[in-house]
Amino acid sequence: MTFSRRHLIRAAAIAATAGPLIRTGRAKAVDTADVVVIGAGLSGLNTAWILTEAGFDVVVVEGSSRIGGRAWTATDSETAPDLGASQVGPSYARVLDVIGRLGLPMVGEDRPILPFTYHIGGQAVLAKDWADHPANKTVGAERKIAPVALSGGLIAKFNPLKELDDWLRPEFANNDISVSQLLENNGVSKAARDLVSLTTEMNNTSVLGLMHDGVRGAFEAKFAPAQSEQIGGALVTKSTDAKTADGAPVEAWPKNFVGGASILPMVMSKQLKRPVMMNKLVAAIHMDDGGVDMRCLDGTSIRAKFVVSAVPFSLLRLMEITPSLDRVHFQAINEMGYTDTARAWCTVKEPFWQQDGLNPSVYSDSALRMFWVHDNHSGKKDAPTKGPFKATFVLTWGAADRIAQMDPARASAFLLSELERLRPASKGQVKVDRFHSWGQQSLQRGCRHSYKPGQITAFANDMIKPWQRLHFAGEHTRRLDYGMESALESGERVANEIMERA
């Protein structure tokens, strides 16, 4: 195959973002396989595993030196946090099946968030005082909704979706609009909209996608009611002492992997006949009537019958694909939005909130946005709670994009200084163990996909269809599920597509 000038430009773009992973070299002998899968995250590995069990010769190539994609346990950090995927819900049928097959140990998540103080407009307001506090400028029924729950609560109020696939149905296309437009159309006050904007992208995200998240969350809650809640766009554990009818403790959900979520993709990769080819950055995919030629920047070439892209569109758009994509696939791959989430995992030496008299956790209109303090269960009746505690700075959307411009050390120092400004008693009591921004990861370029207004109507239904011999997997191609379950859902769908064609 020949390489065009456009191909060389795209290859240079990949190389520029991948840094030390790139080692250019001469062309190597061409490997062959039935299927080549690009990306060793959960979706790519599930595709490869299913096809391997069906008798296909499958090779997986991974651009980094790590298996797992957004399932990444930072074992090099003191608290070994899961930087991305971590939770397994009770309705995650595929994930639970894989866990059972692989014999992976699980533990109930136990990190409920302690009550919030709202730092809004220069005032600190306890959660119990918010509804009637002068700092609360919202109106009517809005006043009773806590700021941390306002975005999810208002979107849920105006959500017409009932079924898991309603978001893809044309009769709901009128909701493929911005969050701002939805709230304005329904008479939500400017003060409430301003609070929502602290943790939600208002103008450049389709609310229809967020509505689907809400419906999927409600579906999840049917399996384990009252054990989790949405806080600032994330699902977190609630502290509960619920019992069954016979007095036994209710099984704890969601669950986490013993040793961290990285164990799942690592063990999945061991089920493949071929080892994952690491540090292989794909530069070009060329399809013809007989198959696919896939070329990596280091000269590795693989000839296969089919190719599966299990990487984000934000990375796939840098690869040369021939023949040229049709309109729908070109638009989806090149225009779909991606949003960042930045977090800093911390240890709190001693409970500074006992000194300042405020609630431990923070939700604010400052640059730090949210600081979650997790219950360490050390308190006893009529006795003060002791440290240390775990805590997490959480920034989403625009706030995450802005702090991602800083290196980890500077970002950590900035977050601590902002917390000290709001809560002087915290000075010297909080230590950042790990800062992580998905937007800073060159092979991810964001925490997750985010449809822009109008994009669900424009291409969500058709973008998952194969383009000639190229198939598409990944959470961004999800239909009914979310989280890790959606990654396995997409891998299963693609494996079935290929088996039907072979």
Dihedral sign for Cα 45, 262, 88, 231, please.
negative
Same domain for 409 and 439?
yes
- For residue 18, pLDDT over 70 is answered with no
Query: Strands 389-396, 370-374: parallel, antiparallel or unpaired by DSSP?
Result: antiparallel
DSSP 3-state assignment of 54? coil
Domain end call among 230, 257, 284: 257
Same domain, 126 and 165: no
* Residue 464 DSSP label: T
Task: Please check whether residues 311 and 346 belong to one and the same domain.
Answer: no
Helix (H, G, I), strand (E, B) or coil at 491: helix
Q: Is residue 104 part of a domain?
A: no
Q: Clarify whether residues 169 and 200 are in a common domain.
A: yes
Same domain? For 161 and 245 the reply is: yes
Q: How far apart are CA 61 and CA 45, in angstroms?
A: 10
18: domain CATH number? 3.50.50.60
- The answer to whether residues 405 and 494 belong to one domain is no
Residue type, 440: Q
Q: How many domains does the chain have?
A: 3
**One domain for residues 271 and 287:** yes
Q: Is residue 2 over pLDDT 50?
A: no
Same domain, 481 and 419: no
* CA-based nearest residue to 343, from 56, 41, 33, 77: 77
Q: pLDDT for 138-165, tens place per residue?
A: 999 999 999 999 999 999 999 999 999 9
Domain housing 155: 142-257
- In this structure, what token pair is assigned to residue 476? 């961004």
Tell whether 122 is covered by a domain. yes
Pseudo-torsion of CA 451, 455, 457, 462, nearest 10°? -90
**Considering the domain boundaries, does residue 167 fall inside one?**
yes
Residue range 413-423: mean pLDDT, rounded: 98
pLDDT tens profile 80-138: 999 999 999 999 999 999 999 999 999 988 888 999 999 999 999 999 999 999 999 99
Residue type at position 320: E
Run of H or E including 34: strand 30-38
Query: 290 lies in a domain?
Result: yes
pLDDT computed for residue 29 by the predictor: 67
User: What is the rounded distance in angstroms from the CA atom of residue 293 to the CA atom of residue 493?
Assistant: 23
> What does the pLDDT look like over 251-261, one tens digit per residue?
788 899 999 99
Q: Is residue 154 part of a domain?
A: yes
- Picking from 232, 257, 282, the residue at the C-terminal end of a domain is 257
| One domain for residues 115 and 129 | yes
Domain match, 307 and 350 both: no
Please report whether residue 48 resides in a domain.
yes
One domain for residues 168 and 121: no
Q: Among residues of the chain, what percentage have pLDDT more than 90?
A: 81
Q: Which of 257, 276, 296 is the last residue of a domain?
A: 257
Whether 474 contacts 311, CB under 8 Å: yes
Question: How many other CB atoms sit within 10 Å of the CB of residue 157?
Answer: 12
In a domain, 333, yes or no: no
What's residue 253's pLDDT?
86
Is residue 82 situated within a structural domain? no
- pLDDT tens digits, one per residue of 452-489: 999 999 999 999 999 999 999 999 999 999 999 999 99
User: 266 and 253 share a domain?
Assistant: no
Q: What pTM value is reported for the model?
A: 0.91
pLDDT digits (tens, 9 = 90+) for 234-252: 555 555 555 555 665 667 8
pLDDT over threshold 90, residue 281: yes
How far is residue 155 from each of residues 159, 164, 344, 361, measured CA to CA in Å?
A: 6, 16, 27, 24
What is the DSSP pairing of strand 470-472 with strand 301-309? parallel
